[in-house]
């Protein structure tokens, strides 16, 4: 976040606000199906989250240099996750429900009152849960891919040479919990390689 200027951060917040305003407009077609009390609660929570997220991004940018490095990384990762898991599903929700309302002449008007909002809502929730699953479940899932390379004129001394290529470790995102990387080290050692090659984004 330090590499982005305050103007870039403000443009990001403006983009979040525009998307949230459009999402709120289309959300009205869904909340119209529930009671007035529940509708009011949903509206209040929607804007509390939206305004709170933008305020947190701006405050973090302003106070970034005064925060402890470990806590800083945790806050940046948390805000990044919240922003992505909120922005992308809302954007998809807006696109899908806008298209559905543009072509709703295919189905009857009575059916569209229920089908279009529900399909639009599903299109927003599905990517949200996919992103959430990726952030929570698979972020520290280390994968091993076995690739055999053949050379016609390879010297005999190199026959059976096993190389482990370690890529995109992103140790900086572990928030000093480096014991998480023990699983990766165990997998690497089990392969019994003769060479270790590190590549791309080892620390960030």
Taking only the tens place, the pLDDT of each residue in 106-151 is: 545 555 556 666 776 677 677 777 777 776 666 677 778 888 888 8
Whether the pLDDT of residue 163 is over 80: the answer is yes
Whether 24 shows a pLDDT value over 70: the answer reads yes
pLDDT tens by residue, 33-51: 778 888 899 899 999 999 9
Distances in Å between the Cα of 74 and the Cα atoms of 60, 71, 180 are 12, 5, 15
Query: What pLDDT score was predicted for residue 32?
Result: 76
Q: What is the pLDDT of residue 82?
A: 84
d(CA 54, CA 143): 35
Interval 54-75 mean pLDDT: 82
- Which range among 35-44, 66-75, 169-178 shows the weakest confidence by mean pLDDT? 169-178
What are the start-end ranges of the H helices in 63-108?
A: 69-102
Indicate whether 16 pLDDT > 90.
yes
- The tokens of 18 are what? 């525009």
Q: What is the mean predicted confidence (pLDDT) over 46-63?
A: 91
> pLDDT above 70 covers what percent of the chain?
77
* CB contact at 8 A, 38 and 90: no
Q: What is the reported pLDDT for 49?
A: 92
Rounded average pLDDT over 13-30? 89
pTM of the model: 0.64
- Give residue 174's pLDDT: 64
**Domain locations in the chain?**
6-136, 141-204
* Average of per-residue pLDDT values in the chain: 79
CA 174 to chain centre: 16
Q: What would the mean pLDDT of 159-176 be, rounded to a whole number?
A: 74
pLDDT computed for residue 21 by the predictor: 94
What angle (nearest 5°) sits at the alpha carbon of residue 166, between those of residues 160 and 172?
165
Helices (H), 63-181: 69-102, 109-136
d(CA 159, CA 153): 11
Task: Report residue 159's pLDDT band, with 50, 70 and 90 as the boundaries.
Answer: confident
């Amino acid at each position: 976040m330090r590499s982005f200027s305050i103007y870039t951060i403000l443009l990001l917040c403006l983009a979040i606000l525009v998307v949230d305003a459009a999402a709120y407009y289309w959300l009205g077609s869904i909340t119209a199906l529930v009671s007035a009390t529940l509708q009011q609660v949903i509206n209040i929570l929607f804007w509390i989250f939206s305004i709170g997220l933008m305020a947190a991004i701006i405050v973090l940018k302003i106070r970034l240099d005064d925060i402890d490095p470990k806590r800083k990384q945790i806050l940046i990762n948390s805000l990044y996750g919240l922003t992505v898991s909120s922005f992308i599903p809302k954007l998809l929700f807006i696109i899908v429900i806008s298209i559905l309302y543009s072509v709703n002449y295919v189905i009857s008007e009575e059916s569209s009152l229920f089908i279009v909002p529900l399909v639009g809502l599903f299109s927003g929730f599905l990517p949200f849960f996919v992103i959430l699953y990726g952030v929570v479940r698979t972020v520290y899932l280390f994968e091993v891919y076995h690739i055999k390379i053949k050379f016609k004129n390879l010297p005999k001394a190199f026959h059976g040479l096993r190389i482990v290529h370690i890529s995109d470790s992103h140790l900086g995102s572990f928030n000093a919990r480096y014991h998480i990387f023990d699983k990766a080290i165990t997998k690497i050692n089990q392969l019994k390689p003769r060479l270790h090659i590190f590549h791309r984004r080892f620390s960030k």
